[in-house]
Amino acid sequence: MDATHGRRATGVLLACLAVLILAGCGRSVEMPDTGFDGLAFRNWTDGATYVGRDTCGQCHQPQFDSFVRSQMGRSWKHARRSLSDADWENPPVLRDAFNDLYFQPFAVGEELFVREFRIRGADTTHLRIEQIDFIVGSGHHTNSHIYEQGGYLYQIPVTWYAQDAKWGLAPKFQKLGNNYRFSRVITDECMACHNAPPTFVEGSENRFEKVPSGIGCENCHGPGSIHVEEKKAGIIVNVAEEMDDSIVNPGRLIPERQLDVCKRCHMQGVAVFEDGQQPLDWRPGKVLAAHEQVFWPRQPDSVSTFIMASHPDRLAMSACFESTWEAYEKAGGALALGGPDGAPRPLTCLTCHDPHIPIEEVPDGHYDTTCQNCHEGPKAVTTPCTEPTVAAGTNTASCASCHMPPSGSSDIPYIKVTDHYIRVVERDMLPPESVEAQRRFIRLAGLVGSQSDHHEVADGFLTYYEQFTDRPGMLDSAAARLQKARRQDPSDDLTASWIRLWHLKQDYAATVRFVMSTDFVEPGDAWTWYRMAQAFRQVGRADEAVLYMERAVALGEDHLRFTDQLGATYVEAGRYDDAVAVLTRNIERQDRFIESWINRGFARLLLGEFSAAEADFREALRLDPDQEQALANLASLFANTDRLDEARPLVRRLLELSPGNPGYKQLWNTLQ
């Protein structure tokens, strides 16, 4: 799937802005004219660097000790059997019936592996083994798995589902015909939330120089280098009297910014980044809406159908949330916090959760006590609980068990999560016959900040189409929004979005016409150059496609897909030696990138290097026995070198994979 890119210029808060705080309380003053709070932290600057959570633990030992035991602290680790929550004693064999493949995790001592294989009769006709390098997930819900090759990270196709204590195919891999096997990339967007900030190789899709072990303090507090340097130099701030602006303390942010810290990772959906923003750029304390917008569909049944990481969105639907925020805003918002009017602090994630403490170690009754601050006694902000058994004192169940019951999610199987939509659940139950109708798509909702403009919503539709659905209506909606954006602001540069839309619609002629028109403005991102190149390739203009693909690679030289497609474009332009050189470079970087083996083999075939071409095609088929292009190329090579007996089983397999393909039928008839 294509990555999502930023597209709008937005205001940026400079680190030199004055720090405005309320004396004695350390809370910021909202600055409605700028959209920021008027509060600047010095660790927002480019000079601030990440020091790692172990460094934080040297001074903050109690918080560190509990945090590393927490779900976030256990989020990512090097793969060791002793660090895994999974059952490695009796791992089952998992079958993907659609692809006729089997997967089995296994351990050898402390090292973890997965084997992929196929059986025909009594024979194993395919076997591939990959070592697991990283475990993702605390084990509270899942353990998923990652392998690394040349710094490039990919997901392993098996997951341990902890609540059901069972192995299964990874989420998204279970959908019929949607098994990525070993090719699903782990991007900087994935890493921004599943781990502490890594060292991402700019210009790549999924390459990292340094990968930490577990979400760290700096995910929520921001880079720690300035803070650490000052403490080592003896510069100590009395935080009871003033704000220490060398690092962010989320507990002292205004509620809006505090929620943003949690939303950054617990508001899953379709992310559209603002112009110039990349997934790892955001800093706690900044306005999240100036970094990204997150979209997700609204349906008539957005009550009982939701994804796992949607906690802030679900919470915002609750009357508890709405009433406390209404009271807060009526009292003046941030200016009223701690002021003489005694405005209540609105409900946020930190009202109930201390992110430093593991869920298992939360004291008994903690959540009930939080609920009863508002729902019990004469000072109740809203009405007390009227459940008769509660009123009679005979009900010992927790408040959450009735009003925030565990529920499944629509995106991850075999798990139960606490539904953060606080309500009287029975009132929202749907008649069974209406459930399917209630899943109808209504609109794409923006979940961060204020209302999005047409251009941003268009990019949301494009990303939703790429990542979650192939419904053509999403592309039609994107086109309609882009038309509105053009009318609304003729100066807005829509080049990247239009070319992305035509690429997804496979309307390559439209891209070519636009690029050749006077309206075209050269893009600054690699993806748009890549899509332009693909359009010119499709209309048979290979020489121009080479120029555009070279521009894409220049902007993303560590991006394997771009480099591979440059090699393929060289082949189409008749530059076979150039193709072999660039594809060899790709293989040396990551020797499991199947497409480059195929494309290099084809270039070698055209150069008359038959043995080398055969070796490349065979390596591609060792990695993926169903790769049609490799099968077809190798079968053609055999057919044209009088190795008919070797060609026939390959063509027979091609006809099994694609029975209606006329080229395969013709090749079969030739062989007969």
Question: CB of 106 within 8 A of CB of 114?
Answer: yes
Q: Is the dihedral of CA 412, 366, 73, 264 positive or negative?
A: positive
Domain at 492-671: CATH code: 1.25.40.10
209, 401, 505, 649 from 394: Cα distances, Å: 58, 15, 61, 73
Record the tokens describing residue 446, joined without a space: 């923006």
pLDDT at 381 (0 to 100)? 45
pLDDT at 6 (0 to 100)? 45
Give the whole-angstrom CA distance, residue 413 versus residue 403: 23
Closest by Cα among 323, 346, 332, 189 to 258: 346
Q: CB neighbours (10 Å) of residue 326?
A: 11
153, 246, 498, 594, 633 from 590: Cα distances, Å: 10, 40, 32, 9, 22
DSSP string, 199-219: EE-TT-SSBEEE--SS--THH
Record the tokens describing residue 378, joined without a space: 């004469």
pLDDT at 81 (0 to 100)? 98
Question: Helices 594-606 & 628-640, crossing angle to 10 degrees?
Answer: 20
Q: How many helices (H) and strands (E) are present in the chain, helices listed first?
A: 25, 17
| Three-class SS state of 101 | strand
pLDDT at 177 (0 to 100)? 86
Tell me the residue length of the chain: 672
Record the tokens describing residue 109, joined without a space: 């001592």
Record the tokens describing residue 68, joined without a space: 């590393």
3-state secondary structure 437-490: HHHCCCEEEECCCCCCCHHHHHHHHHHHHHHCCCCHHHHHHHHHHHHHHHHHCC
pLDDT at 1 (0 to 100)? 44
Q: Is the dihedral of CA 172, 176, 182, 185 positive or negative?
A: negative
DSSP 8-state secondary structure symbol assigned to residue 262? H
Q: List the Cα angle 516/519/524 in 5-degree steps.
A: 85
Residue with tokens 């937005």: 10
Record the tokens describing residue 422, joined without a space: 């606080």
Record the tokens describing residue 333, joined without a space: 């918002």
DSSP string, 594-611: HHHHHHHHHHHHHTT-HH
| Three-class SS state of 310 | strand
pLDDT at 39 (0 to 100)? 73
pLDDT at 21 (0 to 100)? 24
Give, for 2, the enclosing helix (H) or strand (E): none
Record the tokens describing residue 519, joined without a space: 């309206």
Sequence-ordered list of residues with C-beta below 8 angstroms from that of 668, at least 6 positions apart, any chain: 648, 651, 652, 655
Sequence-ordered list of residues with C-beta below 8 angstroms from that of 573, at least 6 positions apart, any chain: 542, 543, 545, 546
32, 245, 247, 423, 445 from 289: Cα distances, Å: 14, 22, 21, 28, 14
Which residues is 130 bridged to in the sheet? 114
CA 288 and chain centroid, separation: 16
Residue with tokens 């941003």: 456
Mean pLDDT by 10 residues, the chain (672 residues): 42 26 29 48 95 97 96 97 96 96 98 97 96 97 97 98 97 90 97 96 97 96 97 92 92 93 95 94 96 90 80 93 91 62 78 94 91 65 64 77 88 92 71 54 87 94 93 95 96 96 98 96 96 98 98 97 98 98 97 98 98 98 98 97 96 96 94 88
Sequence-ordered list of residues with C-beta below 8 angstroms from that of 448, at least 6 positions apart, any chain: 260, 263, 267, 288, 289, 292, 293, 294
Q: List the Cα angle 144/146/148 in 5-degree steps.
A: 175
Record the tokens describing residue 671, joined without a space: 């062989």
Residue 506: phi and psi, rounded to 5, are 60, 30
Q: CB neighbours (10 Å) of residue 9?
A: 11
pLDDT at 37 (0 to 100)? 54
Per DSSP, helices labelled H in 23-60 are 53-57
Q: Where are the domains of the chain?
A: 42-253, 302-429, 492-671
Q: CB neighbours (10 Å) of residue 525?
A: 18
Q: CB neighbours (10 Å) of residue 93?
A: 12
